[in-house]
Amino acid sequence: MKFIKGFTFAPFARNGSYLKKETYRSLDNLKERVGINFIILVPNGLQDTPQSEEICYTSNSTISDTELEDIINYAKNIGLRVAIKPTVNCKNGTWRAHINFFDEDVHCEPKWSKWFASYTDFQLHYASIAERTGCEMFIAGCEMVMAERRENEWRKLISDIRSVYRGVVSYNTDKYQEHNIKWWDCVDVISSSGYYPIKDWEKELDRIEKVVKHFDKPFFFAEAGCMSTKGSSAVPNDWSLEGGIDLNEQAEWYRVMFESSLKREWVSGFAMWDWAWNQYSLNRAENDKGYDVYGKPAEKVIKKYYDMVVEK
């Protein structure tokens, strides 16, 4: 697989966000400043609670199909490869990993069967767009930890996706979950979220390597990132962490991630989390504590290592 020098671009954008000139300027900035060759776009699906059976992707909380197709076409015109990763979230704020139902359908209770029917509709809608616009990859969701044990449903979903989309199919599992998925054989590429503590990269890569070699599939980190908040390098997945600003800690986390990962020939790339459509002005970068790297030392670290990788 061609090495992925990627970023997640403007995830969970609301309807109208991709119509703004700022969005296109932001994408141009990302390509120029970081040297990427790949973006992941993340249409937003919403369900009320972790036990709701219906997923909505047609409200103002989700970009329209037209603006999604337009940004895909623009990205491809400026030389980027594109993946679509439709991702479901809960309106009540519960993390999607906790979406869960009884293992066996029970009358008068929410059911896996109804939820997967809605999830399949959600995925196939965007798989059709991926096919129509020539996207290089389709990622069938993200970090659905409790749902991942439903092996038969996932196999059926991947098969259904292949009926409308002819490109590369992946799925983005969460950190620490790579070894728990039994159905990696039915996707083309294994991917996961690489939010590992700075001191644990070598240990976690050793564990992931066993999975990759067992299934004999390409692998990349479909998400990876660390906030510029003091202490974040120890808990890079904790977006609620409180603390002061530490731009150098964020940059050091990225350096260690690259140094550890690029020694492994089976790591075929990264898509960092994330690059916003509405960027802050550069003179405010030193005051931002989030995952953004725009104008921070971490941005230069990412570009340095992306530039080092020779595309195959």
Closest CA to 276 of 18, 1, 16: 18
Q: What is the pLDDT of residue 242?
A: 95
Q: Homologous superfamily of 4-308 in CATH?
A: Glycosidases (3.20.20.80)
pLDDT single digits (tens) 251-264 = 999 999 999 999 99
Please, what is the average pLDDT of the chain? 97
* 187 confidence band (pLDDT: 50, 70, 90): very high
Read off the pLDDT of each residue in 202-212 and give the average, rounded to a whole number: 98
| Per-residue pLDDT at 182 exceeds 60 | yes
Percent of all residues in the chain with a pLDDT value above 90, rounded to a whole number: 98
- So where are the chain's domains? 4-308
Read off the pLDDT of each residue in 104-108 and give the average, rounded to a whole number: 92
| Per-residue pLDDT at 188 exceeds 80 | yes
> Do 223 and 208 touch, CB atoms closer than 8 A?
no
Distance CA 305, CA 190 (A): 22
Buried (b) or exposed (e) across 280-310, using 16+ Cβ within 10 A? eeeeebeebbebbbbbbbbbebbbebbeebe
Read off the pLDDT of each residue in 96-106 and give the average, rounded to a whole number: 96
Contacts of 119 (CB under 8 A, 6+ apart): 45, 55, 88, 141, 157
| Per-residue pLDDT at 61 exceeds 90 | yes
| Per-residue pLDDT at 312 exceeds 60 | no
Closest CA to 188 of 137, 126, 121: 137
Read off the pLDDT of each residue in 14-23 and give the average, rounded to a whole number: 97
> Do 38 and 79 touch, CB atoms closer than 8 A?
no
Q: What is the pLDDT of residue 311?
A: 64
pLDDT single digits (tens) 283-294 = 999 999 999 999
Statement: the pTM of the whole predicted model exceeds 0.85: yes
| Per-residue pLDDT at 239 exceeds 70 | yes
Q: What is the pLDDT of residue 10?
A: 98
Read off the pLDDT of each residue in 195-217 and give the average, rounded to a whole number: 98
Distance CA 139, CA 169 (A): 6
Closest CA to 182 of 218, 214, 160: 214
Q: What is the pLDDT of residue 43?
A: 98
| Per-residue pLDDT at 181 exceeds 70 | yes
Q: What is the pLDDT of residue 191?
A: 98
Half-sphere exposure (CA, 13 Å, Cβ side) for 276? 12
Distance CA 218, CA 212 (A): 7
Strand 168-173 to 189-193 pairing: parallel
Percent of all residues in the chain with a pLDDT value above 70, rounded to a whole number: 99
Closest CA to 7 of 302, 310, 311, 305: 302
Residue 181 corresponds to which tokens in the numbers above?
A: 């998925």
